[in-house]
Amino acid sequence: MIVTTLKPLLAKNRSWALQRRQRNPHYFEKYLHQQKPHSLWIGCSDSRVPAEVLTGAHPGELFVHRNIANMVVPDDDNLMSVLQYAIFYLGVQRIVLCGHYGCGGVQAALGLPESPLAKEESALARRIAALRRDLAQGLAAYRAADAQEEESDKLNRLVEANVLAQFAQLTGSEPVRSAWQAGQTLDVFGCVYDLQSGHLKELIQQSTEESIP
């Protein structure tokens, strides 16, 4: 029988905290009583895409929401609550929607008709089915691509298509539209993360000035 414990994680936590205090004795005091993040990060739950690590952010700098395939679903109360809190209570001035190449959610949406998920009645199955609907145009482009083209390149474009589709949902959401209509400074970015290089790539951006009629 294999017994797992939290000890390895706790040990790494203690080591990390000690290193931070050694570099700056007051490191943990800055945001002890409040948080003032400059950005909201909406990303994929994939363990290879940790927002704070890949951006070099410190505690208190990013307000983070992650889900399967970085989806923006209007009837997702969890995401909408995060958006409202970040924009109107924390006053973030930037939202970063970030997908990543090699996204398992996007690949699941691509293969959904032949997947066991297609026969399931579960939250995951419903979410992947919704993602497939969001990716209708991207999937059509994938199927129409040159048969000689590398599969990885086609999948990368599908990931980018998902970022653009979710970006449209995000910029059309009630919290974002309300902030822009009120003249609140809020820049929204759509990015993709390259697992191989560790680099972020900006795909699209929209700001308050561009959105006020």
What band does 88 get if pLDDT is binned at 50, 70 and 90?
A: very high
pLDDT tens readout for residues 150-186: 889 999 999 999 999 999 999 999 999 999 999 999 9
Mark whether 77 is an active-site residue. Answer: no
> What is the per-residue pLDDT for 3?
56
Sign (positive or negative) of CA dihedral 6, 82, 128, 101: negative
Asked whether the predicted pLDDT for residue 2 surpasses 60, the reply is no
Rounded distance between C-alpha atoms, residue 166 and residue 117, angstroms: 22
Tokens of 151: 């599969």
| CB neighbour class for 26 (10 Å; exposed up to 12, middle 13-18, buried from 19) | exposed
Asked whether the predicted pLDDT for residue 196 surpasses 80, the reply is yes
Asked whether the predicted pLDDT for residue 211 surpasses 70, the reply is no
Mark whether 44 is an active-site residue. Answer: yes
- Mean per-residue pLDDT, 194-210: 92
Q: Are strands 94-100 and 187-193 parallel, antiparallel or unpaired?
A: parallel
What band does 46 get if pLDDT is binned at 50, 70 and 90?
A: very high
Asked whether the predicted pLDDT for residue 1 surpasses 60, the reply is no
Mark whether 98 is an active-site residue. Answer: no
CB 211: neighbour CB atoms within 10 A?
A: 15
Say which of 65, 100, 127, 132 is annotated catalytic: 100
Mark whether 103 is an active-site residue. Answer: yes
Q: Are 162 and 101 in contact (CB under 8 A)?
A: no
% the chain with pLDDT above 90: 75
Say which of 21, 48, 133, 199 is annotated catalytic: 48
Tell me the average pLDDT of the chain.
92
Say which of 65, 94, 98, 103 is annotated catalytic: 103
At 64, is the secondary structure helix, strand, or coil? strand
Q: Are 74 and 176 in contact (CB under 8 A)?
A: no
- Mean per-residue pLDDT, 137-149: 86
> What is the per-residue pLDDT for 30?
81
